[in-house]
């Protein structure tokens, strides 16, 4: 499935610098390759025409299912790419309704191949586009390979009159690329509808909800690691995986990939082989699926994690007033809840970590000099309730039917026996029922895999019915960035601020009020020795923050 994405963020220096691996673009002023914002363009610097046009290009996927190649200097289409600079990503899709297939993240660009994936509508129906991942020639746009995660032969390219697999697991979040290994790392989702899996075949489960590693030049499988088995909670991999080289206990350098999961687990894998570097043993989880479905007996639990250390109790229920807290406790006892991975139910299940996840598409920021990772986990429970499909309730979408486009409210799940309602677990006045904090900024030591510090981030100023700025720690969409000087920058919170923190201890160094929600990942660059930080303040419709169309730059003090 897909999660809602941020508006396009400020385009970075890759377009001007000729960066070939453009997801994400790093900067000499930064100690990290911060996660690229969703919907951002990628850049390439491969000659296309002898007359000098399109020597540097912007490769721009848009949400009607097309990818455009533009001259970075003029904005003109690259005539030698696709159909006059236009690549139709809807080709051979089983359904081509506009808006049902959306490439929400930048493609990975190598010196040979453009690797493109995309999002589909969550929980809408069993007749949706494929989650196929494709590789196109970086110069001409010619299709070089395909990897359809739901097909018996994932590399089979459909012939005339054929199409890719309906509803195969998709990859909507940003991917990462290791040029030395020529491997692209793709965070995978689950076959939609997400909250019921009684109709899933082994082929449709094989590459669902995990990290998929493909050889970028050929599209052949390198390895796959599944982070949730038979996913019934929309616990798809929401974040760009982060590549880093770490020193193990024997002093050896190990190339790893960090995989932040909605479950709060941080999976650490050898990026050459997919083998676990940090243990993630299989542990029993609650059983008892809805009629016609089943639940995996175990799930992997990483030793490096932000997941809750204990199950919620009624003592964890919270409210702005005593009445509010009482209602939250009553609702808590009415729901099914047996801890992490409580199955969806007709009774209504408390899902914690919630469907929004502890980690979202912002990902991690790695400080390679200090060997630490910066994370911003969320702690917001959700409630899911299955709705039996009764007489007169169609299994197939009716003409003009559309999904909600959000992760809240009634989801029709056409084609399966149940619809579902998904909502944050909120009090009657619209505040989370779980006691604060609901969002943190934190640092992890990559040498010991221990959390060094964790602090609340964000206030209720822009989301409370009463405009009072309680520092409760707020839910977030967007990621952190850390500079070589040891300063973390992050927007993301449900209040409209960009903040800076000391990476060593979490002390807040600075903050600035934004004119709209900062649901984006900041970036940094330097010009003539002066360093800048830029963020797109566009807000987020489904997140409820103030909308805008701002791109704002701040200058760091001169040294």
Give the catalytic positions in this structure.
234
Q: How many CA atoms lie within 13 A of 376 on its CB side?
A: 34
Q: Cβ distance 547 to 516 under 8 Å?
A: yes
- β-pairing, 372-375 vs 440-445, is antiparallel
Give the separation between CA 32 and CA 308, rounded to whole angstroms: 28
Q: Cβ distance 483 to 499 under 8 Å?
A: no
- Within 8 A by CB and 6+ apart from 15, the residues are 41, 43, 56, 58, 72
310-332 burial, b for 16+ CB within 10 Å, e for fewer?
Answer: eebeeebbbbbeeebbebbbebb
Longest CA span, the chain: 73
- β-pairing, 372-375 vs 349-351, is unpaired
Supply 237's token pair. Answer: 């991999």
Handedness of CA 135, 137, 142, 144 (dihedral sign): negative
Tell me the Ramachandran region of residue 331: left when phi exceeds 0, alpha when psi lies from -120 to 50, beta otherwise.
Answer: alpha
Tell me the Ramachandran region of residue 211: left when phi exceeds 0, alpha when psi lies from -120 to 50, beta otherwise.
Answer: beta
The three state secondary structure string of 30-56 is: ECCCCCCCCCCCEEECCCCCCCCCCCC
- Within 8 A by CB and 6+ apart from 165, the residues are 94, 130, 132, 148, 149, 150, 151, 203, 204
Q: Cβ distance 102 to 128 under 8 Å?
A: no
Give the separation between CA 292 and CA 270, rounded to whole angstroms: 37
Any idea of the CA torsion for 494, 496, 498, 499, to the nearest 10 degrees?
Answer: -60
Give the separation between CA 23 and CA 249, rounded to whole angstroms: 30
């Amino acid at each position: 499935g897909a999660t809602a994405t941020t508006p396009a963020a400020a385009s970075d220096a890759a377009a001007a610098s000729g960066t070939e691996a453009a997801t994400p673009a790093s900067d000499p002023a930064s100690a990290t390759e911060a996660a690229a914002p969703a919907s951002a363009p990628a850049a390439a610097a491969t000659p296309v025409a002898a007359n000098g046009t399109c020597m540097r290009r912007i490769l721009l996927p848009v949400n009607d299912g097309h990818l455009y190649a533009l001259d970075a200097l003029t904005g003109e289409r690259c005539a030698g790419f696709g159909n006059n600079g236009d690549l139709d990503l809807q080709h051979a899709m089983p359904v081509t309704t506009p808006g049902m297939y959306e490439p929400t993240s930048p493609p990975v660009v190598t010196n040979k191949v453009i690797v493109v994936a995309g999002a589909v509508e969550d929980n809408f129906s069993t007749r949706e586009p494929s989650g196929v991942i494709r590789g196109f020639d970086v110069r001409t746009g010619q299709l070089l390979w395909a990897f359809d995660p739901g097909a018996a032969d994932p590399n089979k390219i459909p012939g005339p009159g054929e199409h890719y697999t309906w509803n195969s697991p998709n990859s909507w979040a940003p991917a990462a690329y290791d040029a030395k290994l020529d491997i692209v790392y793709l965070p995978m989702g689950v076959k939609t509808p997400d909250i019921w899996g009684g109709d899933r075949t082994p082929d449709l489960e094989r590459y669902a909800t995990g990290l998929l590693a493909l050889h970028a030049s050929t599209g052949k499988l390198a390895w796959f690691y599944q982070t949730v088995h038979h996913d019934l909670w929309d616990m798809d991999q929401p974040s760009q995986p982060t590549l880093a080289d770490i020193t193990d206990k024997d002093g050896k350098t190990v190339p790893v990939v960090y995989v932040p999961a909605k479950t709060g687990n941080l999976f650490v894998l050898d990026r050459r082989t997919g083998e676990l570097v940090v243990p993630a043993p299989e542990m029993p989880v609650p059983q008892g699926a809805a009629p016609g479905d089943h639940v995996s007996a175990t799930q992997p639990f990483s030793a490096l994690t932000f997941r809750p250390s204990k199950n919620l109790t009624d003592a964890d229920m919270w409210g702005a007033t005593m009445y509010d807290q009482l209602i939250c406790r009553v609702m808590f006892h009415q729901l099914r809840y047996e801890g992490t991975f409580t199955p969806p139910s007709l009774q209504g299940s408390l899902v914690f970590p919630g469907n929004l996840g502890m980690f979202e598409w912002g990902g991690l920021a790695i400080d390679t000099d200090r060997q630490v990772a910066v994370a911003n986990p969320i702690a917001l429970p959700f409630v899911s309730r299955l709705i039996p499909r009764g007489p007169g309730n169609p299994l197939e979408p009716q003409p003009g039917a559309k999904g909600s486009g959000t992760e809240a409210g009634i989801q029709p799940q056409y084609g399966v026996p149940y619809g579902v309602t998904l909502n944050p677990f909120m009090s009657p006045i619209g505040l989370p029922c779980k006691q604060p904090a609901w969002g943190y900024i934190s640092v992890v030591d990559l040498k010991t895999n221990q959390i060094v510090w964790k602090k609340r981030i964000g206030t209720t100023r822009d989301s409370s019915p009463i405009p009072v700025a309680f520092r409760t720690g707020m839910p977030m969409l967007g990621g952190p960035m850390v500079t070589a000087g040891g300063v973390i920058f992050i927007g993301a919170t449900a209040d409209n601020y960009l903040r800076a923190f000391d990476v060593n201890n979490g002390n807040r160094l600075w903050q600035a009020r934004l004119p709209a929600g900062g649901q984006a990942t900041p970036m940094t660059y330097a010009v003539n020795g002066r360093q800048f930080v830029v963020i797109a303040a566009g807000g987020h419709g489904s997140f409820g923050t103030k909308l805008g169309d701002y791109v704002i730059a701040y200058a760091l003090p001169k040294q």
